[in-house]
Structure 1
């Protein structure tokens, strides 16, 4: 077997393999003899069909079958001998495939890039320092009360925060437009769920009122035929309801897993959950800054096959998130929606793998169990959660990957310049949300730049 390797790009290789004709012809003849033993043709007993007839009838298919097997086997041998590390499957094509001639085929493949990590030395990383105060706990309890509030119908003018039950129909000029009408629709004034200006004009409305509301659709409105246009809505107000907040009593507290209804224990649990949430927000903000710095310092080529694998995974996640069902064909979702983000994920994954390898990072069962126990604290039956994870190899692998990622980020943080910034609980959550939005904008900018 003769092998030659051509470098066509940083991560693409073109392997040409030649296999002596005698090897292929011998394998084809052996396969044809085996085939002849079981051939049944009219006029011949089983196993007595002349080889010339067998070759004429089955020779083409048998040769293709043998050549396919040889190409796959010799490809594996070639990449092993040449020390190549393929990323994904190759494209294999036979250049010469004729009886009596040496078989020649070409395998085009991508390999994992060689990563020589550049340091992020000196990069400034902001780390929020957050303390959950009693005032934060009070605010969270009020939020929980509002989430569990009931609506009580009242005979009074609607105020901001009240819920109105309305019929409405929208018009552009004198023509009603599609999707612009509803009956018995519940709308909380001040929620921002409707077009800007709509809800404000219902403040002061009473049950039985007929209102005519004029608004202008935003220029970036999703329905292009309505964007930037002035519309009139005819509105009938049926009901006005105000929120009735529940008392913070034993029954209310028990809804949140504090069985004895103890108020101090309830506050303690809320503070613990808020502290966990704040810690996650801080960790995520720090991690995103570190990973962004790592990407900027290490522009590496990314195998398209790995990007496509990530795209496929993101499509499945999107289908689940939007409840499209298992029968939904995710290939209907365009690759372009996910490609840039997938490329960034693959790049980060390759770089973190190199950090893990260089620093010989690892996580054994004890570390995995400790992490699972930490995650299980937020569930009602932590022991059951721990048992479920520790007896599932796939879940254990996922947890191990998360631990190694955390360790890799900590190693990278040693190179960065860490700046502590005091923040309130709400500021920390808002900063984490802002960071996520900035990451999305960066992806969109990359997409526009590459378009």
Structure 2
């Protein structure tokens, strides 16, 4: 019914030659006729009732070719990919070489395929030691953070702005005496020390009194997002309307009871240290896993197709949009606020995208080299973990995954995870 072969023409490009039997072509033409005859307008016949011979005499069999191709090509291409074992990573460019009634359909498909990976040494990798121990200073900083969350902001009626104060200001910016777009704000809330304004701005608000107006002199960074302002000196006319200062609660047993279920500050501190130690252990594990993959990638030889990088960039952009939505923003608003274009964002994602694609290809090659398999028991265990995290029944999660056609995706991810486990198991941490 069908024959297929392929020829490698470039590092990651092949030409697939497919021949579809004339019997199958005839079936495709029959289906095409049944589709188009419903719309054929021939005097003396109702739509859908025109005889095939008369239709071809009036319109020509060639009028069925495109619809027949739409029917035949997807199935033939998919079967040819399965028969030859190639792994396309992009849509094919198809050239029809022969399509005639009574003859075989012959077409060529030029397609970018998943690249071959030549693995280097991936066992015995040496990961540089990194300190993940929890320092007393870090525990103290976490308690201070909790303390600040309980702080009460109280108005300051006398004195001047100090670091850490929360202010309400009006401002308007000028470059060479001319106001610029986006440089004006009224009743703007600014925390001094947040570094959310141009470098030097907040430092000059320190010392201002209520109702005071002042010219703040700053220089925009050389790599400022608004190109027309980058590197330029600017003057901001600032008026201070309000200032508030944090009144921190005393760090004692009462504080511990207010922020937790513990009775004493010592118990709270011990719990904070325990939680930080658990997070540090996970950070250490992630560091080692990331490091061994990076090292294995560096030692491997692989030419990453641009189309795979572009696909990963698009995925990163979708993830970025999703994260923005959690903050009540969207991509359009973000680009307006930052002055960055979508293309600029994509360019920024590109390096990390290429690194990730390369790493995934290398880990996949390790899994293949080590004949790593995933059993049904492995999948059941993974689904059980997912169900526990989502607080849903495991059978319900499996049904959902099967409906989405995602079981094989779970299998693939588990196979890659096992490959990374193997890299870690065969690595060592060195000082």
TM-score normalized with structure 1 length: 0.75
Q: How far does residue 284 in structure 1 lie from its aligned partner after superposition?
A: 3.0
**Residues 73-101 of structure 1: per-residue CA shift (max 9 Å, x gap):** 33334334333333344332312323455
Distance in 1 (alpha carbons) for counterparts of 2:195 and 2:171: 17
Bigger mean CA deviation after superposition, 387-396 or 133-142: 387-396
* Counterpart in the other structure of 1:320: 322
Which structure 1 residue ranges, 5 or more long, are not aligned?
Answer: 374-382, 421-451
Bigger mean CA deviation after superposition, 129-138 or 244-253: 244-253
Q: How far does residue 250 in structure 1 lie from its aligned partner after superposition?
A: 7.6
SS in 2 for 1:160: coil
Say which of 392, 416, 419 aligns to 1:387.
392
Say which of 178, 200, 203 aligns to 1:200.
203
Say which of 238, 258, 279 aligns to 1:277.
279
* Counterpart in the other structure of 1:227: 230
Distance in 1 (alpha carbons) for counterparts of 2:99 and 2:29: 12
The equivalences for 1:1-400 within 5 A come to 1=2, 3-19=4-20, 24-25=25-26, 28=29, 32=33, 41-44=42-45, 49-55=50-56, 56-57=58-59, 59-99=61-101, 102-120=104-122, 123-154=125-156, 155-248=158-251, 253=256, 258-259=260-261, 263-323=265-325, 333-334=342-343, 336-357=347-368, 358=370, 360=372, 362=374, 364=378, 367-368=381-382, 385-387=390-392, 391-393=396-398, 394=401
Which structure 2 residue ranges, 5 or more long, are not aligned?
Answer: 336-340
| Contact 1:11 1:111 (C-alpha < 8 Å) held by counterparts | yes
Distance in 1 (alpha carbons) for counterparts of 2:130 and 2:196: 32
Q: How far does residue 42 in structure 1 lie from its aligned partner after superposition?
A: 3.8
Distance in 1 (alpha carbons) for counterparts of 2:270 and 2:412: 32
| Contact 2:262 2:268 (C-alpha < 8 Å) held by counterparts | no
**Residues 188-210 of structure 1: per-residue CA shift (max 9 Å, x gap):** 22222222222222322222322
Distance in 2 (alpha carbons) for counterparts of 1:389 and 1:47: 51
User: RMSD of aligned C-alpha atoms?
Assistant: 3.9
| Contact 2:3 2:80 (C-alpha < 8 Å) held by counterparts | no
| Contact 2:117 2:301 (C-alpha < 8 Å) held by counterparts | no
| Contact 2:5 2:84 (C-alpha < 8 Å) held by counterparts | no
Taking a change above 3 Å as real, the CA distance of residues 217 and 3 of structure 1, as seen in their structure-2 partners, is: closer
Q: How far does residue 319 in structure 1 lie from its aligned partner after superposition?
A: 1.4
| Contact 1:12 1:108 (C-alpha < 8 Å) held by counterparts | yes
SS in 2 for 1:322: helix
Taking a change above 3 Å as real, the CA distance of residues 183 and 261 of structure 1, as seen in their structure-2 partners, is: farther
| Contact 2:255 2:265 (C-alpha < 8 Å) held by counterparts | no
Distance in 2 (alpha carbons) for counterparts of 1:318 and 1:325: 9
Q: How far does residue 301 in structure 1 lie from its aligned partner after superposition?
A: 2.6
Q: How far does residue 255 in structure 1 lie from its aligned partner after superposition?
A: 6.8
Distance in 1 (alpha carbons) for counterparts of 2:304 and 2:119: 15
Bigger mean CA deviation after superposition, 244-253 or 154-163: 244-253
Q: How far does residue 317 in structure 1 lie from its aligned partner after superposition?
A: 0.9
Distance in 2 (alpha carbons) for counterparts of 1:77 and 1:121: 38
* Counterpart in the other structure of 1:440: none
Q: How many residues align?
A: 408
Bigger mean CA deviation after superposition, 93-102 or 345-354: 93-102
| Contact 1:290 1:413 (C-alpha < 8 Å) held by counterparts | yes
Matched, 1:413 2:424: yes
Q: How far does residue 142 in structure 1 lie from its aligned partner after superposition?
A: 0.5
Taking a change above 3 Å as real, the CA distance of residues 255 and 288 of structure 1, as seen in their structure-2 partners, is: farther
Distance in 2 (alpha carbons) for counterparts of 1:402 and 1:77: 25
Distance in 2 (alpha carbons) for counterparts of 1:68 and 1:191: 59
